Amino acid sequence: MAVVEINNVFKFYHDTEVEVKAINGVTLSFEKGDFAVIVGPSGSGKTTLLNLVGGLDQPTGGEILIAGHRLSELRPSELIDFRMDHVGFVFQSYNLIPVLTASENIGFIMNLQKWPKEKRIARTDELLSSVGLSERHNSRPSQLSGGQQQRVAVARALATHPEFILADEPTANLDSKSAESLLDIMEKLNHEEGMTFIFSTHDVRVMKRAHRVITLEDGKVVSDEKKE
């Protein structure tokens, strides 16, 4: 069964008097274990599509199903819980909470889900180890490099065992070495744990590693290439 199904989805914005067709009839599906990138020029609708898939935004038309659940049938409060349980987010600007340590940032979402303390600590340790930051438990974001912060963000996204991770330009703010290192970790998680990753990116390094490259132009899918 597909983890994500996007059926003929539209998203229109009204910019003053002009109607902007950000997503214009996209149909896609992502299987468990996909390592897919959505590419395209600026304004092609990559981030909008990711926001729609993540339930952060509502489509103007069409339907999105996540693990068999229709997002349009969920009430706003249910959608929030749904996101917490099923979707992991990695943002371009890391978006860690500056006053919390690496462990606390990762544990935050588990806290929201009221995980027992021992389980939370064990999961945080496991995640920090998997992103290669076992020694940085108590470091605050300001004490970490950009690459390290993004690795913490990946660990946070993985914390509650989501169905898939949406990563919007995750390497855009990173130098080559940090970007490669981050991609190594994501690739490893994909290989070893079967975690589904859906990226939006301009970064060639990400494209090279992807198993599937979807190209968007003017809100439409113009190509969907799967690598062997």
Partner 1 sequence: MRSLIVIAAVAIGIFAGVFLMAAMNSSVVQRLDAAVNEELSHIQVNNKDFRSSADIQNIISDYPRVVAALESTPGVTKVTGRMIIRGIASTATKSSGVEITGVNVEKEKEMFTLSGKLIPGTGSYFETDTKFNTAFIGEKLAKELNIIRYIITPEAITSLREKGIPSNVVSKVETLQGQRYTSDKKFVKAYEKILAPGEIKKYGWKIKEAAWSYREGSKIILSFLDITNNQTGAAFRVSGIFRTNNDMFESLSLFVPIDELRQLTGMKEGTFHRVIARLEDNDITDDATPVIREKLADYEVLNWKEIQPDLAMIADFMGQIYAIFMIIILAALAFGIVNTMLMAVLERTRELGMLMAIGMNRRKIFMMIMLESIFLSIVGGFAGMAVSEIVIAITGKTGINLMKYSEGMEAMGYSAHLFPTIDAQFFVTTTILIVLTGIISAIYPARKALKLNPVEAIRGE
Contacts with partner 1 by CB under 8 A lie at 51, 54, 56-57, 77, 80-81, 83-85, 89, 91, 93, 95, 97-98, 108-109, 112, 156-157
Q: State the nearest-atom distance from the C-beta of 100 to partner 1, in Å.
A: 10
In one letter, which amino acid is 133?
L
Spatial distance between the Cα atoms of 88 and 98, rounded to a whole number of angstroms: 19
Q: Distances in Å between the alpha carbon of 132 and those of 3, 21, 69, 106, 151? A: 28, 41, 34, 14, 8
Instruction: Name the residue nearer to partner 1 (CB basis): 51 or 196.
Output: 51
Q: DSSP characters for 69-107?
A: EEGGGS-HHHHHHHHHHHEEEE-TT----TTS-HHHHHH
Q: State the nearest-atom distance from the C-beta of 177 to partner 1, in Å.
A: 26
Residue 155, H or E segment: helix 146-158
Instruction: Name the residue nearer to partner 1 (CB basis): 136 or 156.
Output: 156
Q: State the nearest-atom distance from the C-beta of 140 to partner 1, in Å.
A: 14
In the numeric block, which tokens belong to residue 33? Answer: 């274990």
Spatial distance between the Cα atoms of 4 and 69, rounded to a whole number of angstroms: 9
Instruction: Name the residue nearer to partner 1 (CB basis): 35 or 89.
Output: 89
Q: State the nearest-atom distance from the C-beta of 2 to partner 1, in Å.
A: 22
Instruction: Name the residue nearer to partner 1 (CB basis): 152 or 213.
Output: 152
Instruction: Name the residue nearer to partner 1 (CB basis): 38 or 213.
Output: 38
Q: State the nearest-atom distance from the C-beta of 67 to partner 1, in Å.
A: 15
Q: State the nearest-atom distance from the C-beta of 176 to partner 1, in Å.
A: 25
Instruction: Name the residue nearer to partner 1 (CB basis): 12 or 91.
Output: 91
- Given a contact cutoff of 8 angstroms between Cβ atoms, the answer to whether 86 and 163 are in contact is yes
Q: What is residue 138's three-state secondary structure?
A: coil
In the numeric block, which tokens belong to residue 39? Answer: 């590419």
